[in-house]
């Protein structure tokens, strides 16, 4: 991967999350979501599982050099969530915290981007250690997701029609649009596949955790996480097979 491709990926990631923020405003309006529930659909639109699910899946099915685009998405996610996400969930009552923004995940992600840009070679003892630590992530993430699905009231959750319309827009139409736009733009194949994957992952856990801390209702977010996660097993498989 060249520096030019990296910069294109950086710009694409920024544009992608800007689009997610806009969709986060539009989708609740399209679905006629009640005013007090709009912020939850906005959070589900913007803050998907690019880390907990996105990283291990990308690691399993995409080329190694595609991980740089995954890291870009994760940095954008964290920077946005601890600013925009926290403010939306708390209705402006919570202040942005630099310590939360600069969490270990963000620091290591930025460090990885730094290593790539300056083409720094780490000693084998470090690269091997990171590889050994990273290898179990796919297996462990599937165990945790399976446990979450098993504990949920899945039958009742899947009966929510508005949630299914949300899924069709956010997890089918959006990734498809990403593929079409990036293919038309002529970006490298691994970049297109990665951003398609990052657009197709299910709702993330962080908004739910923050909602619990803030004393907000969690039923909508919980339902969204479970149903979109189960649906993503099919949708991600189809998208990746098509590409």
**With 90 as the cut, is the pLDDT of residue 130 above it?**
no
Cα–Cα distance between 77 and 85 in angstroms, integer?
A: 9
Range with top average pLDDT, 10-14, 122-126, 156-160: 10-14
Query: Please, what is the average pLDDT of the chain?
Result: 85
Task: Give per-residue pLDDT as tens, 9-53.
Answer: 999 999 999 999 999 999 999 999 999 899 999 999 999 999 888
The number of domains in the chain is 1
Residue 182 exposed, middle or buried by CB count within 10 Å (0-12, 13-18, 19+): buried
Provide the domain limits for residue 82. Answer: 3-242
The answer for 202, left when phi > 0, alpha when psi is -120 to 50, beta otherwise, is: beta
Q: What would you report as the CA-atom Rg of the chain, rounded to the nearest whole angstrom? A: 18
Q: Determine the Cα angle at 49 with ends 140 and 29, to 5°.
A: 150
pLDDT score of 141 more than 90:
no
Token output for 219: 């039923």
Per-residue pLDDT at 24: 95
DSSP symbol at 120: P
Distance CA 83, CA 105 (A): 16
Paired tokens of 112: 């990885």
């Amino acid at each position: 991967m060249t520096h030019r491709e990296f910069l294109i990926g950086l710009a694409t990631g920024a544009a992608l999350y800007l689009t997610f923020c806009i969709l986060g405003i539009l989708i609740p309006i399209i679905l006629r979501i009640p005013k007090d529930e709009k912020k939850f659909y906005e959070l589900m639109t913007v803050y998907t599982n690019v880390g907990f699910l996105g990283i291990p899946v990308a690691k399993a099915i995409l080329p190694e050099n595609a991980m740089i685009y995954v890291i870009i998405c994760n940095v954008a996610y964290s920077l946005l969530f601890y600013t925009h996400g926290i403010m939306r969930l708390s209705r402006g009552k919570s202040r942005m915290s630099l310590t939360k923004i600069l969490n270990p995940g963000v620091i290591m992600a930025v460090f990885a981007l730094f290593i790539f840009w300056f083409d720094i070679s780490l000693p084998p003892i470090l690269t091997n250690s990171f590889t050994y630590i990273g290898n179990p992530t796919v297996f462990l993430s599937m165990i945790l997701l399976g446990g979450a699905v098993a504990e949920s009231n899945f039958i009742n959750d899947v009966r929510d029609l508005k949630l299914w319309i949300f899924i069709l827009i956010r997890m089918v139409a959006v990734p498809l649009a990403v593929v079409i736009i990036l293919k038309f733009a002529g970006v490298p194949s691994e970049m297109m596949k990665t951003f398609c994957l990052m657009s197709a992952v299910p709702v993330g856990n962080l908004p739910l955790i923050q909602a619990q801390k803030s004393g907000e209702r969690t039923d909508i977010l919980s339902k969204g996480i479970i149903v979109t996660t189960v649906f993503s097993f099919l949708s991600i498989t189809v998208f990746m097979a098509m590409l």
